[in-house]
Structure 1
Amino acid sequence: MSKVGKRIYEARAKYPDRTKSEENSFGPLTVVMTSLKTAMLLLSSEEEPVLQTVLNHITEFARKWDDNILELKEHELLELLLEKEFFIKAYSVIVRRLALYLVTAILGTTELSDLETEQTAKLLEVSFRFYLQEADDFCIEYLTYIINMCLRDPQVAQGVLENIDFLEKFKNIFVYSENPDTVFNSIEALNKMLQVQSAEEMLMFTTLPGFPVDRIICEITNEFLEIRLAALKVLKTLLADTSEESVFEPLHRCFFVLQQLVKAFCANPQAEDALDIIEVLATALRAEKMTKLFFEQNLFDQIVEHLKDDMDVMPPDVVCSIISIFAEAALYTQYLARIHAADITDMFMRCLMQSKPEPGTFIIVGLNRMVEYPEALRYFVAAYEQGVLNKLVSLMASSQVAIKTREQAAQFVGHLLLSAFRPTSEQLILQNIPNILASTLAQGLPELSIDLILSLLSIVENLAQNEEYRAILGDYRPFTESVAQLLMRSYAHSILVHNIFRCLCTIVEEEPVREVLLSNFIVSSIKRALKSLSNLVKTAVTNFILQTTRFNEFVDAYIDRGILEVLMMYQKHAFCVSTWGPAIESILSKCPTMKFCIRNCLSFTDITAGKDFYVSKRKFDDFRSFQKILLTDCSPLDAVLVVNFDRPVADDSELIVVPPSHLQMAEVHGDQEWCYCKRPGDSNLPEYLEALNQTLALHGLVDNPDKIRRTIDFENVAKRSKIIAEAVASVMADNLKILDLNSTEECSRHTVQCHLLELRYVFHNNFIPLGVVRSGCQFERAILFKCFADQIGLPCTLQRSVDGKLLYNEVPLPLELEKDIHCDKKTLKFMPWRMLRPTHIVDLMYNIGELYPTQSRQALQYLRLY
């Protein structure tokens, strides 16, 4: 079998006719089109030369005139290019460049409101895919611009942070790019990403590896103004975080950013971005470590040197803006001496006086902080003659000034009052500060801010520490009226209500203030505060009540106008307010009538002298029922005994005439006029008291003026109690027989009832003066004993039994034990009355004047409990 080998080359007999193929193929076609819409149809072509030609033609059309771009928008070129995904897969780089250029041209004339969020998101999604696979520098430049424009929508910007792949390439391109437009748009896009993040998200984002903070710092000295401004904008956002975990935690980076900022400013203090640099530098100096580096590395001296060199040629408003960095540095007291030595205090003062129409807020902030330095404070006080304080007060009061500036001016005035009270207060009084405060507070919310009002109230509190100035404030009634009106409109802000009540406590000493408050619905404001849900408000108002119960007119208002009722009824809602109970007791301690009605007892410190004391024979479960009897012209079913040592005869104004038509025929005697009085006169009680004092004098038991007023003469407590008891018994013993303590027989209560009924016809009502009662049992005698004891300074209680029919008195006696220093009479006699404890009951019925230890058999027998 023969083997046949394969030949590598074989001769061809026929060859293709290339000339014929070229002749038969479709040749180039040139068509002249004058319609943009027709040209846009060619964008669907799959041949890149055609796409390149059409896109180049459209680009030339767009560059000719700005209105041409608007025409492209009307023909929806952006939507068409987006549908073609900007020819992201085109092999020709020219096609991709031209497509991206047209997109940037259209977006440059498009407002954010013209694009819907879905369209913007689609545009951004295509740009992301294009950005991740593109390497051409021009395409990257255009894509960065498109992304920057799309990030104007906050909802879209929020989603960028989740695209990790894009962020990684974005950081790398930004760090190494030398294209100014790419750098600018990258910084702008980065700033928009930061704006939509919370503080925690921003901290995580900026501290990720590769975050281009160092590149941003470098761009502070870029030759292009737009890039410098964009970099400053991002740095201001980053430097606002002064925590230790921020991107500026390393000291070398802190020094780098300070150095760059100072270098950029000193290179040209009059540059267009100089004020922006100062603003960022001021933000940086809010961190203590930044301020420390600023002074330790002599960057402070460089700024001051260049500022002084160019100060004469720069406008005053620019100079005042530049020194804002010193206002931030003045926050730290250790640098105040150095700042003052550099004449910065004088710069602050000149800016305050020369700025038109008003100084910047930071100017007054700097002055406020410089007060801590003694030399600066003396400089301020010396400048009062130049009208510095007048300027501050006018800024504080003017409604045309920015609210932050007004807040700082008021705070500065208050700070000066604390640091230099005498000269500052004198100047304020000369400026008629009560009138200024009244007109300013009258502006009210929301014209005034809460911080401004708090500063104004602080000024009032500082001035009111001086009695003379407090009197001046109090005499100007419109001031108090403005505070009272402001209180009524401030209940939406608990801190404001709290401070208003605290301010009122400092000026309520003045009688005009009390009159104005009571006539300007202060009672309504107090009721509303007591019913507030805020414990801060309730604490403030109860403190105010505690402070004002020193004045009888307030006590009467609290009782008669419902404040006491609110305090009693809302106790269960005030368990977190420690001053609620003391406020109740403070009112009741000034009104023994209501205290005895509510508590059914009077302690050693509850004195009945000084005003009318009413005791009803009936025990009331609800004190408001008795209060209505005292307030309205009605007569109770049971007798009400009235005690008053200072009114021998009833005032004519208190007499109430009963018309004859309201009387029965048997009661009318000729032309005799019937009248009654709920505050009757009592000429007998002063006589009884005078006789009692004479008896005490005979026994040498009167008060010793040489001793302390509240000293307790324990050795003579029993003797004085017996004398008082005998005096009481002698007054109220008519028609009553003497009984034995051990007997079960009651005293003749019927005799007492008949006597009181007879007195009712004498006085035409049931309000009976105690001094005319001649027959009395434990009830009537205990009241008189308590009143006599209060008049001569004997500690004594008045207690009502559980059934309400019996009253009794208790006195304190030391239960002395051998060698017990706590029961030493010398120590006890100086003990405050509120610390005394009742130990003995006084017998007013059987063994007159005897003292029975509480819980003893005799005491229980006296109370008919045994």
Structure 2
Amino acid sequence: MRNRTELLKLNAPKYLLHLLDHPEINIRRFTLKALAQLCELPEGPEHVLKDPQNMMKVALQIVKVEDVFVLEFASLLLSELTLQPRGCTQLYAANILGSLFSRMKNSLDPDVQKNCLQTLSNLLNDPVCATAVTKNPQFSWPSLTALAQSKFLAIQRAALKTIVTLICRYDKNLQKSFRSTTGLFELCEIIESYEFRDVHPQVLDLLRHYVKEEENASFFYETGCVQRLLMYLHMALPQMKPCCLAVLTQMSMNKKGRDALFETEVDLEFCEQLLSSDVALLADAALGVSNMTKLLPSAIRMSNTNIIQALCAILEDDAAVWFNVRINALRALVKLCRIIPKAAFSLVDPKTFAALRSINQNYNDSPIQAQRLSVQVYRNLLNYYMSAKGMLNEDFMLELLGILQRPDITLKMMTCTVFTTMMDRDVAKDLFTSCHGESVISKSLRIDHVGLRTSLCEVIIASVTTEGAEKYLQLGTIHYMVENKRIRYVVNTWEPALKAIFRQNPSAKLAYIGRLDIDDFTTDGFYCLKRLSQRFPTLHEVTTTPALCKNPVIICTFNRPDWMRSEDEHSNESINRRSVKETIPSLRFLNLPDDVDLRDHLLKLKMWLGDSKSYHYKELEEGNFEVTYRDRCDEVSTSLKHKAHLIAEYVTGQMNGLGQRDCSMPCVELHLADLMVELNSPIINIGRIKCGGSLERAILYKILADRLAVPCSLHRATSAHAWCEVAVPDVDADDKDGEENYPAGLLRANYVVDLLMRPGRLLPLGGREARLICGPKTAPPYTTSTISELKTTEVEPITILNPERSAKLLYSPPRIGQKA
């Protein structure tokens, strides 16, 4: 090699190329041999390929000369030159492909055949020349397959390498022409012959590439080669079995291949190999099982075996490598548990399920791909009731919450999908809250990732309960979601998640949004702060934080507290009240005063209104003070407007003041202060308030309207100013045809309830008198998230003699240059 390098430095190819036309045959022999040896150096081909005429001279030696040594060294030189792209181009331009194929087929010298095969392989590696080679009339598969059975090992390997190169082009015409020959049978004969055992790995690798095409896989089955390959698998040497099984596994990756494997029961062969002691076969066997599950009959047949136990045994085996043995076993579990209920039931057995859960319990020793696949198995197990039932326990919930706190974003999103699917069951929601799932969700929401936030919001939508919404309020999650207004334009589930929380906690919605819509119902435990701070507190914080005790809190409690219920109640009443208690939020743990007056208000109104048919609903629970039956509304009638008017008159009569019936702001404040002193608590039942301003009246109207089936919305503009809007069918005064029914889904707020000026009136929304009650449209809502930016003006105490005039003065529009 040192001599060659020195000769190349002396530009020896320049002088040798002049001797290619020498008449003496021996000189040409040694010239071609020397050039071939010099071209073995990396820089050697460049000296020859500088001039295309040099390639023509070498090519003519192949075409015209019949000397064995000249042909050997000329073909060797061509095999070295065509390793360069420029050499392939120049050889194609020389137009000697026919002679090259002829020498490859007919030459008696094995070296010439080998070199021609190598040259052909080099041409096939070039994208431009490959098409020309396959379209040449002299090209034929039989000549290549015949060389694959040569008695010379080097020629066999070169021929098989060339066939693999052709097969891997995935040219449909080329594949079709190969199917029309007997090449496939000849390849099978090679692997069945012990004489050719040295090239068995190459032949099996060729077959693995061949069956990637669906048509080839189908032809492979039709010609009976699948059965021959199975026989070879059973009789092959141990080192050949992985290569053989790889061919069958490759067939399972396309539809026609799976059909062929099912007909020949190769899927059961995959299951048997999983139980074998040969570790080298486990990866392909597990992948084959995973692919065969895409064919439902095959999946059912495999599930009748002990495949689940075998796969879990692989997961438990610490000696098995993760890539790709245990990873492929996990892939098989993912596919089986997705479509086969029996497999899912078998996996949730404590012994097998422990093997799966160990991946996440020992996650420091498991790759992240294994953790993701195990979570996907969890998701598939939730598709069936029996398997999902085995997962609904506290330990498993804690495991999922632990997975959600790991750093991998994809793993977090997959875990969120498991949570979302699991929350279809009420037991899962209770477990999620008891395991402090809201805290984990709240922390994860701070991660700036759109996909993760979208998944987390989906979990919130699916899992939020009344107690969970209270925890989100306590953790500051609601405040964070309301304040980050820009995120809702990026995360499409941000706003729906916030609405889901507000639906379970209307108190927080009124505080952060400044209104309760028609579809928002005041549940038992609804409360409202007279004055809001920058952050809306929970009711528990109000009772335990001394700084908040100065602020009156108006609360709605219909159901009697637990501590007031006697133990000797009848069993039926206990059952009814127990069902009511289960619907009450976590406020039931607080010793709140009983609001007998509020229940009396509702009962009086029911007797006053009688059995009204203004709202047609289904399954109304008479003993329950909740408003869930509003969701089942079908139709409304024209008498609903009269009902809204009567409720307004009743609310005004109950809150029209004490003594001289003075309801000015100072009197309302004094009345609330007296109640706080009397109750020794800032929490005041709405039923005990007898002197109320616009806020207190609007709250009471909304509470009663929800339970009397009047569609009502509550709005709050300043600290003490609020009003209600109702959605009732408009009634023409001249219409005397009686009641008419309308679809409830068409209801929209169309009237403002007058609770101050001339109580009981329903003013058309947008009218002049309605604007006096609602205030200017530009007035911002009174919310806790913007309280630091707005400064409310205090109204000086005044003496009011006219009650109607006093109602007008309760709301003082802002002067020019003054904020609301």
TM class by shorter-chain length? 0.7 to 0.9
- Name the residue aligned to 1:545: 460
Trace 1:163-562 onto structure 2 (pairs within 5 A): 163=90, 168-169=95-96, 172-173=99-100, 176-177=103-104, 178=107, 179-188=109-118, 214=141, 216=144, 219-242=147-170, 246=171, 248-249=173-174, 251-256=176-181, 257-266=183-192, 271-295=197-221, 298-299=222-223, 301-302=224-225, 304-305=227-228, 307-308=230-231, 313-315=235-237, 318-319=240-241, 321-331=243-253, 333=255, 339-371=261-293, 376-384=298-306, 388-396=307-315, 400-421=320-341, 423-442=342-361, 448=367, 450=369, 452-475=370-393, 477=395, 480-481=398-399, 484-485=402-403, 488-491=406-409, 493=410, 496-508=411-423, 509=425, 510=428, 511-516=430-435, 518=437, 521-528=440-447, 531-532=448-449, 534=450, 536-549=451-464, 551-562=465-476
- Name the residue aligned to 2:524: 610
AA aligned to 1:599 is I
Note the alpha carbon deviations across 1:181-200, whole angstroms, 9 max, x for none: 344345446656766x7xx8
Residue 775 of structure 1, aligned match among 691, 705, 717: 691
Relative distance call for 1:150 and 1:441 in structure 2 (3 A) is farther
Counterparts of 2:56 and 2:690, CA distance in 1: 111
Q: How far off is 1:273 after superposition?
A: 1.9
1:643 counterpart = 2:559: no
1:587 counterpart = 2:505: no
Q: How far off is 1:645 after superposition?
A: 1.0
AA aligned to 1:596 is L
AA aligned to 2:730 is L
Q: Could you tell me whether the CA contact under 8 Å between 1:481 and 1:520 is conserved in 2?
A: no
- Name the residue aligned to 1:13: none
Which stretch of structure 1 is more off in the superposition, 210-219 or 684-693? 210-219
- Structure number with the bigger relative contact order (C-alpha 8 A, sep ≥ 6) is 2
AA aligned to 2:163 is L
3-state SS, counterpart of residue 838 of structure 1 = coil
AA aligned to 2:599 is L
Relative distance call for 1:237 and 1:693 in structure 2 (3 A) is farther
Q: How far off is 1:721 after superposition?
A: 3.8
- Name the residue aligned to 2:788: none
Relative distance call for 1:129 and 1:439 in structure 2 (3 A) is farther
3-state SS, counterpart of residue 281 of structure 2 = coil
AA aligned to 1:283 is H
AA aligned to 1:504 is F
Q: How far off is 1:502 after superposition?
A: 0.9
Q: How far off is 1:424 after superposition?
A: 1.8
Counterparts of 2:25 and 2:755, CA distance in 1: 119
Residue 788 of structure 1, aligned match among 704, 723, 729: 704
Note the alpha carbon deviations across 1:363-387, whole angstroms, 9 max, x for none: 3343344445566445423322xxx
Residue 2 of structure 2, aligned match among 73, 94, 116: 73
- Name the residue aligned to 1:732: 655
Relative distance call for 1:687 and 1:434 in structure 2 (3 A) is farther
3-state SS, counterpart of residue 810 of structure 1 = strand
Counterparts of 2:485 and 2:124, CA distance in 1: 51
AA aligned to 1:786 is K
Residue 56 of structure 2, aligned match among 121, 129, 132: 132
Relative distance call for 1:414 and 1:649 in structure 2 (3 A) is closer
Residue 806 of structure 1, aligned match among 713, 717, 721: 721
Which stretch of structure 1 is more off in the superposition, 565-574 or 430-439? 565-574
Q: How far off is 1:781 after superposition?
A: 0.9
Q: How far off is 1:796 after superposition?
A: 1.9
Q: Could you tell me whether the CA contact under 8 Å between 1:487 and 1:500 is conserved in 2?
A: no
Relative distance call for 1:788 and 1:505 in structure 2 (3 A) is same
AA aligned to 2:502 is L
Size of the alignment, in residue pairs? 715
3-state SS, counterpart of residue 852 of structure 1 = strand
1:88 counterpart = 2:17: yes
Counterparts of 2:518 and 2:121, CA distance in 1: 74
3-state SS, counterpart of residue 354 of structure 1 = coil
Relative distance call for 1:80 and 1:372 in structure 2 (3 A) is closer
Note the alpha carbon deviations across 1:174-216, whole angstroms, 9 max, x for none: 5533343344345446656766x7xx87986776757957454
Q: How far off is 1:850 after superposition?
A: 3.5
Q: How far off is 1:476 after superposition?
A: 5.8
Counterparts of 1:164 and 1:311, CA distance in 2: 43
Note the alpha carbon deviations across 1:403-441, whole angstroms, 9 max, x for none: 2443432232233334431x3233212253443233223
Q: Could you tell me whether the CA contact under 8 Å between 2:637 and 2:741 is conserved in 1?
A: no
Greater C-alpha radius of gyration: 1
Identity of aligned residues (%): 16
Which stretch of structure 1 is more off in the superposition, 178-187 or 783-792? 178-187
Which stretch of structure 1 is more off in the superposition, 565-574 or 764-773? 764-773
Counterparts of 2:712 and 2:209, CA distance in 1: 69
Q: How far off is 1:479 after superposition?
A: 7.0
Counterparts of 1:201 and 1:610, CA distance in 2: 79
3-state SS, counterpart of residue 334 of structure 2 = helix
AA aligned to 2:148 is I
Relative distance call for 1:626 and 1:303 in structure 2 (3 A) is closer
Counterparts of 2:297 and 2:437, CA distance in 1: 46
Relative distance call for 1:789 and 1:274 in structure 2 (3 A) is same
3-state SS, counterpart of residue 89 of structure 1 = helix
Counterparts of 1:344 and 1:365, CA distance in 2: 13
Q: How far off is 1:859 after superposition?
A: 3.4
- Name the residue aligned to 2:792: none
Relative distance call for 1:371 and 1:431 in structure 2 (3 A) is same
3-state SS, counterpart of residue 272 of structure 1 = helix
3-state SS, counterpart of residue 417 of structure 2 = helix
Q: Could you tell me whether the CA contact under 8 Å between 2:245 and 2:281 is conserved in 1?
A: no
Counterparts of 1:516 and 1:143, CA distance in 2: 80
Q: Could you tell me whether the CA contact under 8 Å between 1:414 and 1:455 is conserved in 2?
A: yes
CA RMSD in angstroms comes to 4.7
Counterparts of 2:4 and 2:248, CA distance in 1: 56
3-state SS, counterpart of residue 500 of structure 1 = helix
Counterparts of 2:419 and 2:257, CA distance in 1: 39
TM-score, reference length from structure 2: 0.73
Q: Could you tell me whether the CA contact under 8 Å between 1:484 and 1:517 is conserved in 2?
A: no
Q: How far off is 1:602 after superposition?
A: 0.4
Relative distance call for 1:778 and 1:345 in structure 2 (3 A) is closer
3-state SS, counterpart of residue 752 of structure 2 = strand
Q: How far off is 1:304 after superposition?
A: 1.8
Relative distance call for 1:864 and 1:483 in structure 2 (3 A) is closer
